[in-house]
Amino acid sequence: MSNFFQSHPVLTHPFRPFFLLTGVYGVVTLIAWISFLFGGISLPLGWSPAHWHSHEMLLGLVPAAIAGFLLTAICNWTGATPLRGKGLFLLITIWFAGRVIMWTASWWPAGIVATIDMLFLPVTAVYITRVLLQHGNKRNLPIAGILMLLSIANLMMHIGFMTSNAQWLQLGELMALGLITIMMIVIGGRIIPLFTINWLRNQSSQVDAVKSFSALDRAAIIATLLLIPVDIFTGNFFTSVSWLTGVVALIAGVLNALRLIGWSGWRSARQPLLWILHLGYGWIAFALLLKSAAAFNLVAPTAWQHALGVGAMGTLILGVMTRVALGHTGRPLRLPKFAVVIYVAITMAALARVLTALQLLDYHIGLLLAAIGWSLAFGIFVLIYWPILTRPRADGRPG
């Protein structure tokens, strides 16, 4: 068993197991949710199914993808040895235990459910903080801080469950959506223009076409960050000024759209590994604009939530995983055969779900199309990338 921990490729780098778990869990949770909606199949959840679905997407699925990326990225940021072997297996076990307890929540005391489910995010945050401090990399400490704040969002949802208070559940959900959005625009703002410049340089194209402006970057991050306290206070204390959410969301949406335009994503149309990242970021800007419209009662509030969840999160998770898995296993940055279907499927899912929320598509047809697209995207990722993530690096190097 000791040799297994030390030598198996899956346990040599965090992105390997966590990307596979993200792919598998993306399919499993969606099938469970659709089975409940359309098949009447019940699970021992103990939660309202809608809030359970939201929780497992935002605080079950997404953290696995975040962990796979961040635990890999900190090695690049600091030169640290990646978490591997028994330590990595223990972290996987903590995440898996959280998923099991959430699927069987009605069998256990609510305090036990909350304790086990809440372990993963703070443990991951503490580990990342320790590595960053050991290597003098304080610049990236806010990333670990976001993970700790996500733990608070998780706590809010558990308080809502234990007290049967829907307001706490909604507050935790909104906070999680906001924090994950911040994570996406911070990380996206680093990697998308950089990857685009590198690709254009390799194509002997104009790298100066990709433009980033530090003032715009800061303004976009601050405006998006402000939405979190604005959501809390206007939603719970000052309902008569909900227009403030609309104004801040509009500013954040426009600023993020301008940021994206500056990166000249259309120049990467021949490289799926790049345009999918630009598309994912575009969903963020669109979701923020929909959030503004919802605050002024122009569209249903579920429209921006699904544009953000299915569109931005689903697209960026798959876009990052498909790229990182190739680069960090010593393979060329060339999308495997048929893998572009992953991107087509997640885009279909996002469009169908948002159009359904906007009442432009029949509810049952829209949900079915979204479910098929999402399941295909994550399922095909697992099928194509399983051999890539479970075998040694193609170039013979460790990791």
Q: What single-letter amino acid sits at 217?
A: D
Q: Which residues of the chain fall below pLDDT 70? A: 1-7, 235-241, 399
Which pLDDT score is estimated for 192? 97
297: burial class by Cβ within 10 Å (0-12, 13-18, 19+)?
Answer: exposed
CATH: 1.10.10.10, 3.30.70.141, 3.40.50.2300, 1.20.210.10. Which one for 2-390? 1.20.210.10
Which pLDDT score is estimated for 5? 61
Separation between Cα atoms, residue 47 and residue 111, nearest integer Å:
14
Q: Is residue 102 within 8 Å of 28, Cβ to Cβ?
A: no
DSSP string, 276-339: HHHHHHHHHHHHHHHHHHHHTTSS-HHHHHHIIIIIIIHHHHHHHHHHHHHHTTT--S-PPTTT
Instruction: Enumerate the domain spans of the chain.
Output: 2-390
Which pLDDT score is estimated for 48? 84
pLDDT tens by residue, 97-107: 999 999 999 99
Which pLDDT score is estimated for 237? 45
Which pLDDT score is estimated for 49? 85
Which pLDDT score is estimated for 2? 53
Which pLDDT score is estimated for 238? 45
Q: What single-letter amino acid sits at 342?
A: I
